Amino acid sequence: MLKTRLIPCILTKNELVVQSFGFNRYLPIGDVRTAIEFFVNWDVDEIVIIDIDASIKDRRPNFDLVEWAAKECFVPLTVGGGIKNLEHIQGLLNAGADKVCINSVVRDELSFITEASNMFGDQCITVSVDAVKNGEAHSIYDYQAAEELNLDVTEHLKAIEFAGAGEILLNSVDRDGSREGYDLELLKLVSSAVKIPVIALGGVGRFEHLAEAVITGGCQAVAAANIFQHVEHSTIAAKAQMLEAGLPVRLSSEVKYKNFSLDILGRPF
């Protein structure tokens, strides 16, 4: 049985780590290098770093940061933000990234996914999609223009899959920073429509929300950002909660997960 991946998502504005709330408010946390050093010493399966300002400010990916991070990381590293062409992908992979995460560049040019997958392999290509609820349906959200697009989520993600994406990072705009849990309706809709892995993102406030994305939402991996920017919210506690919920997770031999008790907030004690 495939293990459920736990993926911290580090959101940055250049090299400043931020917490995101509703895609319009950002709380500065600290330096990205400090965050990376923290996560590589904890029990995570991958790390995603996304510079959410890069494309808006026409800034290219930070290859120097990725080269430094790759030397520190002992888990797969996915990098997004500012990717506009195949040369940027090549540069990130050369710097040590294992995967790239692309978003705005593919909304109007799905052929870019095909070109990238053909050149580098679909296992390297993660497509990030931001979705917003509109009545009973969900639409694609353009974070650069801060507006909802007339694109149905299901149809758009099917097209992304057909174009050759390796996996989808699905972020809920409505749940971003809410701490109310993932949009399970959205996750079920997408995971039943595509065959490639779906990574859930957006809304985690308690660790039991992670298991819900897999058990109810049908996702193959869970990602979170804000919750991991606090000392009391360790990734080990997250995996303890996932294990307690019955999910198959990759366990570190040095950590005794079953010895954890969890308080009402999901913190270990």
Residue 127 sits in a domain of what CATH number? 3.20.20.70
For residue 19, the cross-strand partners are: 27
Active site residues per annotation:
130
Alpha-carbon span 95 to 191, nearest angstrom: 32
Residue 137, C-beta contacts closer than 8 angstroms, at least 6 positions apart: 152, 153
Q: Classify residue 122 by its DSSP letter.
A: G
3-state secondary structure of 5: strand
Alpha-carbon span 106 to 226, nearest angstrom: 26
Amino acid at residue number 177: G
Q: Has residue 267 been placed in a domain?
A: no
Alpha-carbon span 18 to 16, nearest angstrom: 6
Q: What is the pLDDT of residue 229?
A: 76
Q: What is the pLDDT of residue 236?
A: 67
Alpha-carbon span 87 to 70, nearest angstrom: 19
Alpha-carbon span 29 to 208, nearest angstrom: 24
Q: What is the mean pLDDT for each group of 10 consecutive residues in the chain (269 residues)?
A: 88 88 85 85 87 92 94 92 96 97 91 97 97 90 89 93 97 93 96 96 92 96 87 66 85 60 56
Amino acid at residue number 96: G
Global pTM reads 0.87
Q: What is the pLDDT of residue 73?
A: 86
Q: What sign has the CA pseudo-torsion 114, 116, 122, 127?
A: negative
Q: What is the pLDDT of residue 197?
A: 96
Q: What sign has the CA pseudo-torsion 156, 162, 58, 47?
A: positive
Q: What is the pLDDT of residue 252?
A: 65
* Contact by Cβ (8 Å): 144, 170: no
Q: What is the pLDDT of residue 190?
A: 95
Across the chain, where does the E strand assignment appear? 5-13, 16-21, 25-31, 47-51, 77-80, 99-102, 125-134, 137-142, 147-152, 167-172, 198-201, 221-224
* Contact by Cβ (8 Å): 236, 201: no
Query: Count of domains in the chain?
Result: 1
For residue 158, the cross-strand partners are: none
**Three-point CA angle 223, 104, 84, nearest 5°:** 110
**Three-point CA angle 133, 136, 142, nearest 5°:** 25
Count CB atoms within 10 A of the CB of residue 131: 26
Q: Which two tokens stand for residue 244?
A: 């307690």
Q: What is the pLDDT of residue 260?
A: 56
Q: DSSP characters for 30-63?
A: EEHHHHHHHHHTS--S-EEEEETTTTTTT----H
Segments forming the whole domain that contains residue 18: 5-259
Q: Has residue 268 been placed in a domain?
A: no
Q: Which two tokens stand for residue 173?
A: 């705009």
Q: Has residue 269 been placed in a domain?
A: no
